[in-house]
Amino acid sequence: MKFKEILKDTEAEGKEKHLPVIEIGKGRGKSEVDVVRVFVGKEVQHPNTIEHHISWIELFGVKQDGQIVDLGRAAFAPEFTNPNIRFQVPVDQFKVFCALSYCNVHGVWQNCIET
Protein backbone atom coordinates (compact mmCIF):
# COMPACT_ATOMS: atom_id res chain seq x y z
CA MET A 1 0.00 0.00 0.00
CA LYS A 2 1.12 3.53 -0.72
CA PHE A 3 0.49 6.53 1.51
CA LYS A 4 -1.50 8.28 -1.24
CA GLU A 5 -4.04 5.43 -1.11
CA ILE A 6 -5.19 6.46 2.38
CA LEU A 7 -5.65 10.13 1.47
CA LYS A 8 -9.26 11.09 0.77
CA ASP A 9 -10.57 14.03 -1.24
CA THR A 10 -13.79 15.42 -2.73
CA GLU A 11 -14.75 12.08 -4.29
CA ALA A 12 -14.98 10.45 -0.85
CA GLU A 13 -17.10 13.16 0.80
CA GLY A 14 -20.39 12.09 2.36
CA LYS A 15 -22.86 14.27 4.18
CA GLU A 16 -20.26 15.16 6.80
CA LYS A 17 -17.64 17.40 5.27
CA HIS A 18 -13.98 16.75 6.00
CA LEU A 19 -11.99 18.57 3.33
CA PRO A 20 -9.57 21.17 4.67
CA VAL A 21 -10.72 24.42 3.04
CA ILE A 22 -7.85 26.82 2.25
CA GLU A 23 -8.34 30.59 1.96
CA ILE A 24 -5.62 33.13 1.22
CA GLY A 25 -5.71 36.65 2.62
CA LYS A 26 -2.97 39.02 1.50
CA GLY A 27 -1.92 42.13 3.41
CA ARG A 28 -4.28 41.67 6.35
CA GLY A 29 -4.47 43.81 9.48
CA LYS A 30 -2.37 46.75 10.67
CA SER A 31 0.90 45.05 9.85
CA GLU A 32 -0.40 43.95 6.43
CA VAL A 33 0.65 40.32 6.78
CA ASP A 34 -0.35 37.49 4.50
CA VAL A 35 -2.51 34.83 6.12
CA VAL A 36 -3.51 31.36 4.98
CA ARG A 37 -6.62 30.14 6.79
CA VAL A 38 -7.38 26.43 6.90
CA PHE A 39 -10.57 25.03 8.34
CA VAL A 40 -12.98 22.11 8.11
CA GLY A 41 -16.71 22.58 7.80
CA LYS A 42 -17.43 25.38 5.32
CA GLU A 43 -20.98 24.29 4.45
CA VAL A 44 -21.63 21.53 6.95
CA GLN A 45 -20.19 21.57 10.46
CA HIS A 46 -18.20 18.44 11.25
CA PRO A 47 -19.00 16.79 14.65
CA ASN A 48 -16.73 17.93 17.48
CA THR A 49 -17.10 15.31 20.21
CA ILE A 50 -14.62 13.06 22.00
CA GLU A 51 -15.91 10.15 19.89
CA HIS A 52 -15.79 11.94 16.52
CA HIS A 53 -13.74 15.05 15.75
CA ILE A 54 -11.10 16.69 13.57
CA SER A 55 -7.90 16.05 15.50
CA TRP A 56 -5.40 18.13 13.51
CA ILE A 57 -4.73 20.21 10.39
CA GLU A 58 -1.36 20.58 8.66
CA LEU A 59 -0.41 23.07 5.94
CA PHE A 60 2.25 22.62 3.24
CA GLY A 61 3.47 25.08 0.65
CA VAL A 62 5.06 24.38 -2.73
CA LYS A 63 7.58 27.11 -3.57
CA GLN A 64 8.06 28.50 -7.06
CA ASP A 65 11.08 26.20 -7.53
CA GLY A 66 9.10 23.14 -6.46
CA GLN A 67 10.48 22.79 -2.92
CA ILE A 68 7.87 21.60 -0.44
CA VAL A 69 7.75 23.37 2.92
CA ASP A 70 5.83 22.05 5.95
CA LEU A 71 4.39 25.38 7.14
CA GLY A 72 2.75 24.27 10.35
CA ARG A 73 0.33 22.04 12.17
CA ALA A 74 -2.45 22.65 14.68
CA ALA A 75 -3.97 20.09 17.06
CA PHE A 76 -7.49 20.59 18.42
CA ALA A 77 -9.22 19.67 21.67
CA PRO A 78 -12.55 17.97 20.89
CA GLU A 79 -15.64 19.75 22.26
CA PHE A 80 -13.62 22.95 22.90
CA THR A 81 -11.61 23.91 19.80
CA ASN A 82 -13.04 24.23 16.33
CA PRO A 83 -10.79 23.07 13.46
CA ASN A 84 -10.01 26.55 12.18
CA ILE A 85 -6.47 27.93 12.07
CA ARG A 86 -4.62 30.87 10.48
CA PHE A 87 -0.98 30.63 9.42
CA GLN A 88 1.03 33.81 8.79
CA VAL A 89 2.88 32.99 5.56
CA PRO A 90 4.58 35.03 2.79
CA VAL A 91 2.06 33.97 0.14
CA ASP A 92 4.02 35.26 -2.86
CA GLN A 93 6.81 32.74 -2.24
CA PHE A 94 4.45 29.84 -2.94
CA LYS A 95 2.64 28.63 -6.03
CA VAL A 96 0.48 26.00 -4.29
CA PHE A 97 -0.82 25.41 -0.78
CA CYS A 98 -1.87 21.92 0.31
CA ALA A 99 -3.51 20.94 3.59
CA LEU A 100 -4.27 17.71 5.39
CA SER A 101 -6.96 17.20 8.01
CA TYR A 102 -7.44 14.15 10.21
CA CYS A 103 -10.83 12.90 11.43
CA ASN A 104 -10.45 10.22 14.11
CA VAL A 105 -13.29 8.23 12.49
CA HIS A 106 -13.00 8.97 8.75
CA GLY A 107 -9.24 9.29 8.19
CA VAL A 108 -6.91 11.70 6.42
CA TRP A 109 -8.23 14.27 3.91
CA GLN A 110 -6.36 16.41 1.42
CA ASN A 111 -6.94 19.60 -0.49
CA CYS A 112 -4.72 21.95 -2.53
CA ILE A 113 -5.16 25.38 -4.08
CA GLU A 114 -3.01 27.37 -6.47
CA THR A 115 -2.13 30.90 -5.41
Minimum CB–partner distance for residue 105 and Fe ion (Å): 5
Residue 105 makes contact with Fe ion by CB under 5 A: yes
Q: Is 18 a catalytic residue?
A: yes
Per-residue binder mask for Fe ion (CB under 5 A), 47-86, x = binder: ----------------------------------------
Is residue 40 a contact partner of residue 101, using CB atoms and an 8 Å limit?
Answer: yes
Judged by CB under 5 A, which stretch of 7-15, 19-27, 87-95, 98-106 contacts Fe ion? 98-106
Is residue 111 a contact partner of residue 96, using CB atoms and an 8 Å limit?
Answer: no
Of the candidates 23, 32, 52, 112, the residue annotated as catalytic is 52
Report the helix count and the strand count for the chain, using DSSP H and E. Answer: 0, 8
Q: What is the DSSP string of 34-71?
A: EEEEEEE-SSSPPP-SSSS-EEEEEEEEEETTS-EEEE
Q: Binder to Fe ion among 19, 60, 103, 109 (CB under 5 A)? A: 103
Report the catalytic residues: 16-18, 46, 52, 103, 106
